[in-house]
A and B are shown apart, each in its own frame.
Chain A
Amino acid sequence: MSPETTIQAAMITPLVGAVLISFAGRWPNVRETITLVTAVIMFYLVASLYPHVMDGGRPSLVVGEMLPGLPIAFMVEPLGLLFALIASFLWIINSIYSIGYMRAHNEKKQTRFYVCFALALASSVAIAFAGNMLTLFVFYEALTISTYPLVTHAGSDKAKQGGRVYLGILLSTSIGLLFLAIVWTWMIAGTVDFTPGGILEGKASATVIGILLALYMFGIGKAALMPFHRWLPAAMVAPTPVSALLHAVAVVKAGVFTIVKVVVYIFGIDLLSVMANSDWLLYISGFTLLCASIVALRQDNLKRRLAYSTISQLSYVVMATAILAPLSIVGATLHIAAHAFGKITLFFAAGSIYTVSHKTEVSQLDGIGRRMPWTMGAFAIGALSMIGVPPTAGFISKWYILHGALDSGQILAVAVIILSTLLNAGYFLPIVYAAFFRKAQGEHGEAPLPIVIALTLTAAGTVLFFFFPGIFLELARQLI
């Protein structure tokens, strides 16, 4: 298969999967098999693009013109491939987990759940492969819409409220700011193609560039930069598999991915680094990073704590991008991958605890590690990765970000990273401590097997990432 066909197939596979799933609604076993098979095929297709990209190939595909002069186009470059690889790989594991979780909870409307999941994944990969800003925006919105039914899955009043905040913030930032920024960019530059080195150099005054940068950075609400971060805690009303794959990996990573993409391919690192008024991005992301950590400290609900931790970790990526040093861009890219593995493990663990014991609060977790050793073991590994302790994935990416910050003399960024590491330890380690060293309450065992398999796999991935970062590192290096 030529790479062009592979791109097409990788995006069409989940769509076909969605259709088949909706027909197989009556037979749960068939339905779940279809989900798993679809996920595996999709990952295989995405992975088969890896050698092409490593050889310096940039396979591309133009589907057709949407507006005159503005095609729907795809181009696979290292950053996009990395995002697509992670999303499609974790979808396989997450599907295993979903089967255990959704069945253990006797959730209703499981067919709709799996259909929307497949649609969300199709959108994510289309975002990853987008060749211009219009294409990216089209699927960015598709991702928002397709995840809305997942967020409101419970159908309760609380879910409705959460859904309102979710949709309200994501749509108003993207329609209100991002859309404006894209049309404006198109008018200034005459193109919105992702071009190495950027498309805005010498096309507009520093003031206009500054305004555009702000429109982009806040318009990409999925990156959860403060003050547009509230949708992420609100999205926690969703079933845990949704929080795990979508609100720790696909959706939020689509956000920071877009930010890196815009900085590298629309503005260009060179253009931004000579501009005096782009420093604010560093400050606002540093502020979000610390603030979200402090808020996380005070959350007793486990999923909310994880959500605030995600907000903080997303800002690592934004801040690393804003440092604008080649090494920190590598760090940002790696952190997209590293955080994905760690955070999905943490959510898996949270869902596992809830499935067995119906505990949702941090304060209820005393001694749970003895009853659920696999779950809490995985949780501990995920937590260490968030803090950035070897031998976990988080260490590698933090190392690069720090290195980049030191190289370019951004002492402030270095201070923020150190401080936040302490805060991360402050809100994760007590949970691990209480789980293993406090007295246990309640009688229950380990979670159902699919759940345990899933979280063990991702925890193993987090550790393996530390020892074999090569796959992702090579991709990230190609970026600069």
Chain B
Amino acid sequence: MGKLFAVVVVVIAIASAVPIVMHTWAPPVDISTHGHAIDEQLKDTMVEAGISFLGAQLVLAFFVWQVAGRKDGPIKTFPGGARVMVIAAILLVGTEILALGVLGQKAWADVYFTPAKPDALQVQAQAGQFAFYFRYPGVDGKFGALHPDKIDEGNSNFFGLDPEHDMDSRDDVVTGELAIPVNREVHLLMHAKDVGHSFYVRELRIQQDFVPGLDLSVHFTATQTGRYEIVCTQLCGLGHYNMRAYLSVLSPDDFDKWMKEKAAQ
């Protein structure tokens, strides 16, 4: 029975490693300038965790096989006892996590610790139950002030603009889809209208929470035109499953055309 268990452990370990080694489930195409660093990091993590996992399972199976069916005397203990074993494990796992952190800090810093370029396209993203809305500053390049008491969703005033008194807000363009030009950096200014939400585009390798009361931002550059799905990945209530929007990455000409069209509405 013990030997059968050892065999099962080996079979399960190898069977779970096969689709990963064979790249059976490839990640979605990467359309961002920073995404390759994140993919590299994920690959390193998979390799490191995979080797540790396989090693641990094989060692487990080996010892189970060795002692299976034995009834004589106590099994040998770890040299130095339990304390040494725990310290050794902490050192091993600690080194592994530290190494991943050191290797990954550049990928993280490029996205989070580096400010967006001054000429990046500014877009404001608002998350609310259960839709995303986006705002562009219009030709004046200035966002109008927000007045939460003016929010009137039945009238498409999702942000609470006051065009009657605020000149800056008159040319602001509010849309339900996020259109951006290809190969130009986008600085996405994020705020939540009600509860926590998240902005996730798989192809952009961006996932950032919206936190009520905090002005957060991310910046990224898309390198391929196309239409991609933006989904909320932070459980935000009843309609969470259906909270999504679309990202259109357009050529600069198409983007200008789209912007003119939206501004005219």
Q: Do chains A and B interact in one complex?
A: no
Show the binding face of B for A, using Cβ within 8 Å: none
Show the binding face of A for B, using Cβ within 8 Å: none
